[in-house]
């Protein structure tokens, strides 16, 4: 190893990288927890208002708040499609090749995919940090041990006084790497579970929306 290449700089750099990872992890955890909580709150409010209004008319449903929550945006997508299909002169291949039910299902499915991308944003980064942080810490530990070997060669002694300090410092990098990875992995698994539950909720809502769109109401009421 060249003399200008200091293992100490590598260890310090590793710890700074892990510090950045930790800041990103906790920022994402706090933000995603707020995002999931906020979305669930608005979904509960909209879902209750939506089904209470179903017995009236589609026009009344349009008065609901369609700007907050994934269910509200899915409903707005459905309302917009129902309005579009009623416009005179709609003769595109898309409308001629599929039935209205299939077209509405397609529109709602695309909107669900958009909502899922919004919900799952940042989770890949959490997974990446959780999987790489221990190896980053191990990388710093390896260079710490190399520094300990250099100290041994310089002193010509392998006593505990010479070895314990550098190796102890090196193991800190591994410990920090694990400490960063654990909350990232736990948060990723937790938010993935919440994401799956919200996906089921959106799919169930879309099925119910299609049912009332083609059975309980007529498109001309929109």
pLDDT band at residue 72 using 50, 70 and 90 as cut-offs: confident
| Residue 1 pLDDT greater than 80, yes or no | no
Give the H or E element holding residue 172.
helix 160-211
Locate the domains of the chain by residue range: 7-130+185-216
98 or 84: which carries more pLDDT confidence? 84
CA–CA distance, 210 with 112 (Å, rounded to integer) = 14
Confidence class for position 13, pLDDT limits 50, 70, 90: confident
Residue 219 pLDDT greater than 50, yes or no: no
- Region 80-91: mean pLDDT is 68
* Average pLDDT estimate for 113-118: 92
214 in Cβ contact with 103 (< 8 Å): no
**CB-based contacts of 175, cutoff 8 Å, min separation 6:** 137
Would you say 103 and 93 are in contact if contact means Cβ atoms under 8 Å apart? no
**Other residues' Cβ atoms within 10 Å of the Cβ of residue 137:** 27
Span of 57-66, 136-145, 192-201 with lowest mean pLDDT: 57-66
- The mean predicted confidence, pLDDT, of the chain is 80
With bands split at pLDDT 50, 70 and 90, how would you rate the model's confidence at 142?
A: confident
Show the tokens assigned to 120.
């799952």
More confident position, 54 or 98: 98
């Amino acid at each position: 190893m060249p003399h200008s290449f200091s293992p100490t700089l590598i260890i310090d750099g590793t710890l700074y990288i892990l510090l950045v990872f930790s800041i990103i992890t906790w920022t994402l955890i706090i933000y995603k927890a707020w995002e999931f909580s906020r979305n669930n709150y608005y979904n509960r409010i909209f879902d209750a208002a939506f089904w209470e209004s179903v017995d009236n008319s589609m026009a009344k449903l349009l008065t609901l708040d369609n700007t907050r929550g994934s269910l509200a945006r899915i409903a707005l997508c459905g309302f917009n499609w129902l309005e579009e299909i009623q416009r005179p002169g709609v003769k595109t291949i898309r409308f001629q090749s599929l039935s209205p039910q299939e077209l509405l299902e397609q529109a709602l499915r695309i909107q669900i995919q958009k909502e899922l991308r919004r919900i799952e944003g940042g989770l890949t980064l959490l997974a990446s940090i959780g999987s790489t942080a221990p190896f980053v810490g191990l990388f710093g530990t390896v260079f710490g041990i190399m520094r300990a070997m250099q100290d041994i060669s310089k002193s010509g002694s392998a006593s505990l006084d010479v070895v314990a300090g550098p190796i102890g410092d090196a193991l800190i990098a591994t410990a920090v790497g694990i400490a960063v990875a654990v909350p990232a992995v736990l948060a990723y698994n937790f938010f993935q579970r919440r994401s799956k539950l919200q996906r089921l909720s959106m799919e169930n809502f879309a099925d119910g929306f299609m049912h009332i769109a083609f059975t309980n109401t007529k498109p001309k009421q929109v």
